[in-house]
Structure 1
Amino acid sequence: MTDFKEFADVCNQIEHTAGSLDMTEIVSEMLLSVSSEELPVVVHFVMGDVFPAWSTEQLGVGPSLLYTALSRSSGLPLKEIENLVRTTGDIGETAIAALKKETRNQATFSSFMDDTPSLSIMEVFERFNNISRTNGKGSQTTKIKNLQYLFNSATPEESRYLARLAIEDLRIGVGEGIVRDAISKAFNVPVGEVERGFMLTNDLGLVAVAAKEGGVEAVSKLGMELNRPIKMMLAQVTPSIETAVNDLGVVAVEWKFDGARVQIHKDGNNINIFSRRLENVTRSLPDIVEAVRGNVKADSAILEGEAIAVDENGNPRAFQDILKRFRRKYDVETTVREIPLILNLFEILYLNGEVLIDMPLSDRRDVLVGCVENSVRLKVDDQVLTDDVEKVNEIYSAALKAGHEGVMIKNPNAPYSPGKRGKNWLKKKPVMETLDLVVIGAEWGYGRRANLIGSYALACFDPDAGTFLPIGKVATGFSDEQLAELTELLSGLIVVESGREIELKPEVVFEVAFEEIQKSTNYESGYALRFPRLVNVRDDKSPEEAETLERIEGIYLAQKSRS
């Protein structure tokens, strides 16, 4: 069994390594050194995750619970733990500082100072597993006891990374790109094969085990499985309809609904529905479940569509109403009556055991139409093939008149690329361009708003490093009611407080409008937003779906070319 200290030592080495190629080499060597049982755990751990993205398991350890565990492990008052967090600015450094205090019990203190490893990687994983499966009365106490056990068995270096892993924020700059390349290097499997395996499974741990045990052949046999959601293909903004048609030629045009995207897995009469964050939302959407059960004529299928909320006249309701449906856990029947949904299907990825993502869009469309019976609550959305700009403009105008966002313009010859954003799917909306950015920090307000969070630090995403790069703040245009809702939403994500400033776990995505993007040395991204303002809180999007630095740079260069 591999000691957790070995993992912690590797993390420390990576944390002090600047180049991605060097990081990849270090990760590769670690993957080679562990057993097949440990391998998927290490793959997820090194990216700061405990479970794969598709898993329904959630650790559910917030900062307050972690502070309590550190308090009990160290013997320090909770207030002192909070002060240490403010001083160090990092929960990992706080763990070391707290656990070195002489108030720690003598047996544990001796083990800590001797630097004697007593934890294995699998034991840490099992403790985290216990925490995730604990719920109901007394669950908080049980979770704290599991964390106490880990801290009381840890060396200094281990405690730093245990604390960070407990809130799934490892802070060493290793993302999917580095791990993908490390798997390729470690087990001599082409990067393209590793990437495809990841696309089909949404689990780099699973891909790593296949690569270790069976090489290229085993990785090439990996496929999609029902009830294991995969990342959804993404669209990028087109500057104009004319540009899109000129670039693609004949295009497939669909309305862009103002709704919530879902991925539906049908296995006989068993239906599971996943949000674009890959959360299982089946229990909140019983009307959609019944519509799929009655109208999709397939033994097994994986489909995608957009769920929209409608009023008594069939007109689209506000996006926030859709989120009420997705958030609802209790008295779902009442919400179903109050906010009915319509599902517009536009994709099929899998049918009766056959993976379809390599087929051209036009062929997938034929398969989709062939296995769906349209009804009032569920239908295949309308699609038009054309190379006529005027025709696309007509469809665009009709979508806006019906109260929707605009149009999707797709390449009819393109395969489905899970998790990828590119020119095969383009979106056109009339409003000022917006960005989806992650909230990574905030500030408490002044005066009568002193108990409300009133300014929000925003970041874009670096997918290779798995990190979020600051790009600015949004602070204007909020009502007291909105600030109260956001304060409630974000309070449970506070990692560090220092005076009025707050560091937040990167979980919440804001859709932000802006006047322009400017070069800036004030932010790590190298850019800043001019006159940003909040458009929406995108509960349906994961932090990894935030705008990438590459996209920010592209918008900046496009601005320069137009000026």
Structure 2
Amino acid sequence: MKFSELADYFEKLEATTKRNEMVALLAELFKNLSPEEVEKVAYLCQERLVPNYEKIEFGMSEKLVAKSLAKALSKDEEEVWTLYKEIGDLGALAQRYIGEGKGELEILDVYNRLMEIATTTGKGSIEKKTDRLAELFSHLSGKEAKYISRIVLGRLRLGIGDPTILDAFSYAYSGDKSLRPVIERAYNLCSDLGLVGFTLFSKGLDALRDFKVQVGKPIRMALAERLPSAEEIISKIGRCSVEPKFDGFRCQIHKDGDNIKIFSRNLEDNTEMFPDLVEGARKQIGAEKAIIEGEALAFNEEAQEFFPFQVTVQRKRKYEIETVMADLPLKLFAFDLLYVDGEDYTPKPYIERREKLKSLILPGDVIMVADSIITEDPKELNLFFENAIGSGLEGIVAKRVDAPYQAGARNFNWIKLKRSYKGELTDTVDLVILGYYVGRGARTKLGIGSLLAGVYDPESDTFKTVAKIGSGLTEEEWIKMKGLLDEIRVDNKPSRVVSILEPDIWVEPKYVVEVRADEITRSPVHTAGKDEGELGYALRFPRVEKFVRIDRKPEDATTVQEILEMYNMQKKVEVKE
């Protein structure tokens, strides 16, 4: 398929906010592509050339893309930059000034040229990137250049999330969404939408059913549900294993001989950031090939205690790694085993995975198996919980002893219980920033006064509002927040956002903040949990507890269903009191 035809599909996708229409358009597109084109288009829809866990990015700023456009248009750079400031979108600028017509390049040709740009490194690489992008622009129509500009800048703005693409794969292959569970299972095991699409359309459904765990490809992580008390946990799952809940970096460590990969909760490759964990994994994982999960925390050697998350997060950096590592060494508490030496452990019961993990981790200073107890006694669970809180940890996680590891799932196989404060929610929530309001009063000078934030609805692959947040940040943090948000501001409400409220500035759903509130209430103006003719849900007195969570993707945010469950738990607590 020619890239001009793909640009036509992108234009149709951009024009609709209806998810069913998006799925239908994508399904039609995938049916008309070769398997290799399906793979590449799946990545391009994510504004990428490879899956998230591979470190290939364009590395081009607005200035550089504008420079490429100037070269392609034979215009002065300053003139193009001035035009961009007037229009506010380099894609729209490219479409307007390159003009109509049809480009003749095939999708795979465009993809290969983009890959060449992204992988250009070394001396003079910036100039080479701008020259190559300019040369690509010269072969494109205005519409094609619009979407290439946005892909390179990570601002495609089609409103397509992973679930939408998974549904589209199913419709394209079978005409309905009946294959979604099989397709999603494969995706959960490999975290690679392109590979899933290529396999489905080249080798068929049986090949997807045969997908296996592979060392080096991150498995989408299992997540925990919430309950408000030890009694309800035992009532829900009975005899269970109970572990401390650490407040650090969730890590999935892949060992293949001496080759170590460390993936974050949002599936980014963080290996280079944590050389101490890499060395610990080489020495302490007693297998040739293995995948383990755990939580990494910064450790205060002098006080023999763990630093809070705000300190631990300083370890997540690209520069001065060795210096910070010396001041903030990491300890990894391993709590699950997913694979070892040719055997997939994800289908095995938790208790079996745990026992194998204990025998796998060798003595050392970096990795240790998290403490645990097995109990069906709420009092014993509560005592373990209080000990965890007394040690400065977040709480506990209870796990069904007979449950498999369900990649990508959030269910009651794992249940978290965190410290509660009388009159407050039992837990914090992770919210996606959807927009902001300009400052009023004392914050007028800052240009930002409050945030519009929402939760994720996986059923519709959208973000729904649940709070306006105006407290919890220092003046310095508000200034920093505005800088981050202005880089992703958009003229109109993003297609994946469902909102009655209208902030002064809309932004792409990208950044996640951790928020605490007094309670959840019903609301006529917020859309989380709002059905036709009914009220939605809102946070009362929300405040930011942790600045932008770099370890969270927007789809990792608290879900609408979790808000409903927390509201119901809150009512139970009120009744007991």
State which of 514, 517, 520 in structure 1 corresponds to 2:520: 517
SS in 1 for 2:54: coil
1:396 aligns with 2:382: no
SS at match of 2:36: coil
Unaligned runs of 5+ in 1: 86-90
Matches within 5 A, 1:306-321: 306-311=295-300, 312-321=302-311
- Which shifted more, 511-520 or 406-415? 511-520
Aligned with 2:316 (options 326, 329, 341): 326
- Cα–Cα, structure 1 residues 493 and 15, in superposed 2: closer, same or farther, change >3 Å? closer
Whole-angstrom distance in 2 between the partners of 1:136 and 1:449: 44
Question: Is contact 2:347-2:404 (8 Å) kept?
Answer: yes
> 1:95 & 1:523 partners in 2: Cα distance?
32
8 Å contact 2:429–2:514 — kept in the other structure?
Answer: yes
Task: State the distance in 2 between where 1:199 and 1:43 align.
Answer: 16
Which residue type is aligned with residue 407 of structure 2? Answer: P
Judge conservation of contact 2:120–2:128 (CA < 8 Å) in 1: yes
Once residues 492 and 126 of structure 2 are traced to their aligned partners in structure 1, the CA distance between those partners, rounded to angstroms, is 23
Q: Is contact 1:440–1:457 with CA below 8 Å preserved after alignment?
A: yes
Letter of the 1:544 partner, please give it.
E
In structure 2, do the counterparts of structure 1 residues 120 and 77 end up closer, same or farther at CA, with 3 Å as the change threshold? same
**Equivalents in 2 of 1:130, 1:240: separation in Å?**
55
Give matches, 1:234-383, under 5 Å. Answer: 234-311=223-300, 312-330=302-320, 332-383=321-372
Cross-structure match for 2:183: 194
Give the RMSD, CA atoms, in angstroms.
Answer: 2.9
Against the structure 1 CA distance between its residues 517 and 120, is the aligned structure 2 distance closer, same or farther, given a 3 Å change threshold? Answer: farther
Residue 35 of structure 1 aligns with which residue? 34
Are 1:95 and 2:91 counterparts?
yes
Which deviates more from structure 2 when the two are superposed, residues 6-15 or residues 72-81?
72-81
> 2:545 is matched with which residue: 493, 513, 535?
535
Supply the distance in 2 between the matched residues of 1:21 and 1:341 (Cα, whole angstroms). 46
Match of 2:102, SS state, is: coil
What is the match of residue 88 of structure 1?
none
Relative to the length of structure 1, the TM-score reads 0.87
**Shift of residue 82, structure 1, vs aligned partner:** 1.8
Range with greater deviation from structure 2 (470-479 or 254-263) = 470-479
Matched, 1:213 2:207: no
| Residue identity opposite 1:480 in structure 2 | E
Counterpart selection for 1:478 from 473, 481, 492: 473
Selected match of 2:151 from 155, 165, 176: 165
Counterpart position of 2:114: 128
> What is the deviation of 1:248?
0.3
What's the counterpart of residue 13 of structure 2? Answer: 14
Over 3 Å counting, the alpha-carbon distance change for 1:281 and 1:144 in structure 2 is same
Structure-1 separation of matches of 2:372 and 2:272: 30
Query: Which residue is 1:458 aligned to?
Result: 453
CA deviation after TM superposition for structure 1 residue 368, in Å: 0.7
CA contact (8 A) 1:452 1:483 kept: no
State which of 178, 183, 196 in structure 1 corresponds to 2:169: 183
Alignment equivalent of 1:440, drawn from 434, 438, 447: 434
Match of 2:221 in 1: 232
Paired AA for residue 462 in structure 1 = D
Q: In the alignment, does 2:52 pair up with 1:58? A: no
Measure the CA separation in 2 of the matches of 1:153 and 1:555. Answer: 54
Which aligned pairs between 1:419-434 and structure 2 lie closer than 5 A? 419-431=408-420, 432=425, 433-434=427-428
In structure 1, give the amino acid aligned to 2:198: V
How many Å separate the matches in 2 of 1:242 and 1:553?
20
User: Which residue of 547, 554, 563 corresponds with 2:558?
Assistant: 547
Task: Measure, in 2, the Cα distance between the counterparts of 1:69 and 1:241.
Answer: 60
- Cα deviation code 1:80-116 (max 9, x no counterpart): 312212xxxxx3xx6335542xxx4xxxx5xx33x22
Q: Distance in 1 between matches of 2:514 and 2:155?
A: 23
Task: Report the more deviating stretch, 418-427 or 18-27.
Answer: 18-27
Which sits farther off after the overlay, 411-420 or 17-26?
Answer: 17-26
Amino acid at match of 2:540: R
Gaps of 5+ in 2: 494-502, 531-536
Q: Secondary structure at the match of 1:54?
A: coil
Once residues 490 and 116 of structure 2 are traced to their aligned partners in structure 1, the CA distance between those partners, rounded to angstroms, is: 23
Q: Which amino acid in structure 2 is aligned with residue 222 of structure 1?
A: F
Structure 2 residue corresponding to 1:80, chosen from 60, 64, 83: 83
Tell me how far 1:306 sits from its aligned partner. Answer: 0.8
Give the one of 153, 157, 160 matched to 2:139: 153
Partners of 2:95 and 2:141 within 8 A in 1: no
Aligned-partner SS, 2:555: helix
Q: Does the Cα contact within 8 Å between 1:265 and 1:301 map onto a contact in 2?
A: yes
Bigger Cα displacement from structure 2, 256-265 vs 184-193: 184-193
Report the Cα distance in structure 1 between the residues aligned to 2:373 and 2:406, rounded to whole angstroms. 21
The letter for the 2-side match of 1:163 is S
User: Counterparts of 1:137 and 1:361 in 2: how far apart (Å)?
Assistant: 51
Amino acid aligned to 1:404: L
Does the CA-based 8 Å contact 1:303-1:350 persist in structure 2?
Answer: yes
Question: Secondary structure at the residue paired with 1:298?
Answer: coil
Match of 1:117 in 2: 103
Q: Which amino acid aligns with 2:305?
A: N
* Residue 320 (structure 1) shift: 1.9
2:5 partner SS: helix
Q: Deviations over 1:292-351 (max 9, x none)?
A: 211111000011111111211221112122111121522x33222211221110011110
Distance 1:464 1:134, change over 3 A: farther
Going from structure 1 to structure 2, the CA distance change for 1:355 and 1:283 (only over 3 Å counts) comes to same
Q: Distance in 1 between matches of 2:58 and 2:384?
A: 45
State the match for 2:497 in structure 1: none
How far apart are 1:404 and its partner, in Å? 0.5
Aligned equivalents of 1:307 and 1:234: distance in 2? 17
Per the TM alignment, residue 208 of structure 1 is displaced from its structure 2 partner at its CA by 1.6
Aligned residues: 543
Residue 124 of structure 1 aligns with an amino acid whose one-letter code is V
For residues 44 and 460 of structure 2, what CA distance do their matches in structure 1 show? 14
Q: Is the contact made by 2:66 and 2:80 (CA closer than 8 Å) also made in structure 1?
A: no
C-alpha deviation, 1:287, in angstroms: 1.8
Counting aligned pairs with the same residue, the percent is: 33
Q: What is the one-letter code of the residue matched to 1:33?
A: N
Distance 2:156 2:462 in 1: 10
C-alpha deviation, 1:234, in angstroms: 1.1
Q: Aligned equivalents of 1:77 and 1:170: distance in 2?
A: 20
Choose which of 189, 196, 211 in structure 2 pairs with 1:222: 211
Paired with 2:416 and 2:185, the residues of 1 have a C-alpha distance of: 25
CA deviation vs aligned residue, 1:348-374 (integer Å, no higher than 9, x gap): 111012211111111111111121123
3-state SS of paired residue (2:150): helix
Tell me the secondary structure at the aligned position of residue 441 of structure 1: strand
Give the secondary structure class of the aligned counterpart of 1:184.
Answer: helix
Q: Which amino acid aligns with 2:37?
A: E
Contact 2:331 2:367 in 1 (8 A): yes
Query: Residue 499 of structure 2 aligns with which residue?
Result: none
2:217 counterpart SS class = coil
Cα distance in structure 2, aligned partners of 1:42 and 1:497: 25
Instruction: Determine helix, strand or coil for the equivalent of 1:258.
Output: coil
Contact 2:296 2:333 in 1 (8 A): yes
Cα 1:296–1:153 shift into 2, 3 Å: same
Structure-2-length-normalised TM-score: 0.86
CA displacement, residues 182-230 of structure 1 (integer Å, 9 cap, x when unaligned):
2233334833321221111111221122112221221122222222212
8 A Cα contact 2:227 2:569, kept in partner: no
Decide whether the 8 Å contact of 1:41 with 1:205 is kept in 2.
yes
Q: Distance in 2 between matches of 1:162 and 1:557?
A: 46
